[in-house]
Amino acid sequence: MSKLNTLTIAEARDALRKGDVTALELTEACLSAIDGAGALNAFVHKTPELAIERAKAADARLKAGDAPAMCGIPIGIKDLFCTEHVPSQAASRILGGFQPEYESTVSAQLRDAGAVMLGKLNMDEFAMGSSNETSCYGNAVNPWRRGDDATPLTPGGSSGGSAAAVAADLCLGATGTDTGGSIRQPAAFTGTVGIKPTYGRCSRWGIIAFASSLDQAGPMTRTVHDAAIMLGAMCGHDPRDSTSADIAVPDFEAALSGDIRGKKIGIPREYRMDGMPGAIEKLWSEGTEMLRDAGAEIIDIALPHTKYALPAYYVIAPAEASSNLARYDGVRYGHRAKLGPGDGITEMYEKTRAEGFGPEVQRRVMIGTYVLSAGFYDAYYNRARKVRALIKRDFEQVFAQGVDAILTPATPSAAFGLGDMADADPVRMYLNDVFTVTVNLAGLPGIALPAGLDEQGLPLGLQLIGQPWNEADLLNTAHVLEKAAGFVSKPAQWW
Amino acid sequence: MSTIDLETARRVAKLARIAVPDENLPALADELSQIITFMEQLNEVDVDGVEPMTSVTPMRLKRRADRVTEGNMQDKILSNAPDAREGFFAVPKVVE
C-alpha cells in the first residue's frame, strides 16, 4: 500500500473497514508528515495526543462495526472553528490564548462521526484575505512551486493552511470556510477540491463569524468523491443556527453516478475578462468540451450584474464584519492591552483592538463602520443589498431556463508569489475573488476542482456553480469533469 | 473619485474603537478612499424598485418556546476572561 497519508478518504475508509489498516496507523503517518512539513506552516496548533486518543477510539468503533464513513479519517480543522479546549483564534492576535469551552457544530459532527482531528490550520486573520498573508502565525506556503524556481508561493486564502495541508498529504481532508471564495480559491491554487455548499447547509454555530450572511463551511479534499463523503458528515440542520436549513441531507456519494447526459451547462459570457491569462481561457474551453463530450448540453448564458458583485461584496462583508467583530473588546476573552495610568474603558477598547487586529482586519472594520454610519447607510449598504438581490436574480433567471450548472474559471490567475501583492492597493487583492464572490452573494453551492497545469507547472482550477440545495447534482457533474480532466499531478516534495 | 479626509478617517477609527495614531491617518484615509471609490461603481446600477436583500435563502425563522435552554456555566463563561473576579468580568472604572 502507498504511504498511508497519501490515501484518499474513500480509499482509507475502505481499507479501515476491511481491516487492512488501522486509524492509529493512518494518524501516525499523518502526524509524521506534519512534523516533516514545518516549512509549509500549515498546522499552527498541533494536537497529536488528542489525535492518538481519537484514533484508538475510532479503531474500537471500527472493530465493533459501528463506523460512519469518516470514522478513523485524519483531518485538519481550520483555526476559524471553535474546538473544545484547543486554541481557536482565527489567526488573530486578539484571540491569543482563547481556548473555547465548546465545539463548533461542524467539527463536533466530524468528531462524532469518528474523524480524527490532527490540529488547527493556518488561515488569513478572521478569514480576511486571499493569500494567507494576514495571519498572525505568518504565511502558509504552497507546496507547489514554479518548476525548479524556489520562490515561495501563496496557497491562497483564506483557507490557505487547509489547502496546503491537503495538497501536501499532511491530512486526508480539512475543513474550510468560504465567505467570498476562501475555500475555492485556495483549492484552485493547490490542485485540490473545495466545495462551498448552499448557504444554510452547514451550521455556522461555533465558527468565528466574519460576514454572517455569506459565511459557509465546506470540505477541502483531494478528490470530488472525498468531498462528497466529507460534506455529508458536515451538513445538517442545527437548531443553534437560525439560518441553518431544516432540509434532509442526501447521500452525496451515492449521487456520483458519472452520468450527466442531457444536463444543461451554462457558460456565462461576463466571466470572460480582459487580460485573463491564456492558460485559464484554454482550460475553460477544454472543460466545456469535456462536459459536452460527456453528453451535457452547453448553453451560453448571461449574468449581467456580475461586474458589480465585487463592489457589492466589499460593502456587505465589511459591514457585517464591523458588527461581528465588535465583540472583541478585551473583556470576555482573548487579548487585553496593558493600560496606562488614567486609562478608562474607551482606551481599553481602542488600544486592545489596535494591538489585536492586523492591518487588513482594521481596514475592513473601518470600511464597514463607514458604510453603516449615519448618512451613508442608504448610499452604500442599502444600495449594495439591492445589487445583491439583482445578482441573485441573474442566477434565478438562468436556472429557470433549465440550466443545471454553470462552468467558470475558479481564479483569474495561478498561485502568485508570497509578498507579490505587498505594495498593491487593497482592491487588487480583492480581485482574486472575482469568479467566486457571486456565488456567496447568491447563496449558491460552488465547487472548485483541479483541471490542468499552466506553463509553469502550477495547478489551475475550474469552478462549477449549482442550483440551491442541489450539491448532489453539482458533485456528480464535478466528478465527471474531474475524471475527464484526469488531473493526477502532485507537487514535488521540497519541504 | 471619493475622498476621505483626515477628519473622516479619525471619526471612523473612533467609531470603530480602534486607536490610530495621528501619523497613520493620511495613509488610512488614502486606503479608505481607494476602497470607497471602488464601491462607487454600484452607482451605475439601476436599483429602482428593488428590495434590499435581507435573507439569501428565503426562510421563515423557526420558533421555539421562550425557555432557558442552557445555563449555569459561570465558570466556563469566565474561563477565558483577561480579568475575572468574584464571578464577574472586571474592567477599568466606567463611572466616576
DSSP 8-state code for residue A153: B
How distant is the Cα of B42 from the closest Cα of chain A, in angstroms?
A: 6
- Beta strands A297-301 and A264-268 are parallel
Residue B84 lies in a domain: no
- Look at residue A273 in the predicted model and tell me its pLDDT: 85
Nearest to A365 among B16, B40, B56 (CB): B16
Nearest to A388 among B20, B38, B53 (CB): B53
Q: Residue B21: give the domain boundaries.
A: 6-43
- Look at residue B1 in the predicted model and tell me its pLDDT: 57
Nearest alpha carbon to residue A477 among A400, A407, A401, A411: A407
How distant is the Cα of A309 from the closest Cα of chain B, in angstroms?
A: 9
Known active-site residue A78: yes
CA distances to A166, A413, A440 from A478, rounded to whole Å, are: 18, 21, 19
Contact (CB, 8 A) for A256 and A480: no
pTM here?
A: 0.97
Reading across the β-sheet that carries A446-453, which strands appear in turn?
A: A43-46, A116-121, A74-78, A173-178, A216-221, A193-196, A446-453, A459-466, A405-409, A264-268, A297-301
DSSP 8-state code for residue A440: H
Specify the residue for cell string 480576511: A128
SS3 A45: strand
Q: Tell me which of A78, A196, A263, A264 is the catalytic residue.
A: A78
- Look at residue A424 in the predicted model and tell me its pLDDT: 85
Known active-site residue A203: no
Known active-site residue A158: yes
Q: Which of residues 468-487 of A touch B (CB under 8 A)?
A: 468
Contact (CB, 8 A) for B18 and A354: yes
Q: Are A312 and B80 an interchain contact pair (Cβ–Cβ within 8 Å)?
A: no
CB atoms within 10 A of CB A344: 14
Q: Are B91 and A363 an interchain contact pair (Cβ–Cβ within 8 Å)?
A: no
Chain A residue with minimum CA distance to B39:
A311
Handedness of CA B84, B89, B92, B95 (dihedral sign): negative
The residue among B23, B24, B47, B57 with the most chain A CBs within 10 A of its CB, best to mutate, is B57
The residue among A196, A366, A369, A430 with the most chain B CBs within 10 A of its CB, best to mutate, is A366
Number of domains composing chain B? 1
Residue B36 lies in a domain: yes
Query: What's the CA gap between B18 and A365, in Å, rounded?
Result: 9
pLDDT band with cut points at 50, 70 and 90 for residue B93: confident
Q: Are A357 and B18 an interchain contact pair (Cβ–Cβ within 8 Å)?
A: yes
End-to-end CA distance of chain B: 45
- Look at residue A148 in the predicted model and tell me its pLDDT: 92
For chain A of 495 residues, list the mean pLDDT of each consecutive stretch of 10.
90 98 98 98 98 98 96 98 98 98 98 98 97 98 96 98 98 98 98 98 98 98 98 97 95 98 98 89 97 98 97 97 98 96 95 97 97 93 98 98 98 96 85 94 98 96 98 98 97 96
Chain A residue with minimum CA distance to B13:
A366
Q: In chain A, what are the helix, strand and coil shares in percent, each to the nearest 5?
A: 40, 15, 45
Residue B31 lies in a domain: yes
Residue B28 lies in a domain: yes
Asked if the C-beta of A406 comes within 8 angstroms of chain B's C-beta atoms, the answer is no
- Look at residue A367 in the predicted model and tell me its pLDDT: 97
Residue B35 lies in a domain: yes
Q: Are B34 and A199 an interchain contact pair (Cβ–Cβ within 8 Å)?
A: no
Residue B75 lies in a domain: no
Alpha carbons within 13 angstroms on the beta-carbon side of residue A22 total 14
- Look at residue A116 in the predicted model and tell me its pLDDT: 98
Query: What's the CA gap between A230 and A164, in Å, rounded?
Result: 18
Residue B23 lies in a domain: yes
Residue B25 lies in a domain: yes
Question: What are the chain A neighbours of B50 within 8 Å (beta carbons)?
Answer: 386, 389-390
Chain B residue with minimum CA distance to A309:
B42
Query: What's the CA gap between A381 and A368, in Å, rounded?
Result: 9
Cell numbers found for residue B57: 435563502
Amino acid at the residue A15: A
Peptide bond into A131 cis (omega under 30): no
Nearest alpha carbon to residue A175 among A159, A154, A157: A159
The residue among A203, A373, A387 with the most chain B CBs within 10 A of its CB, best to mutate, is A387
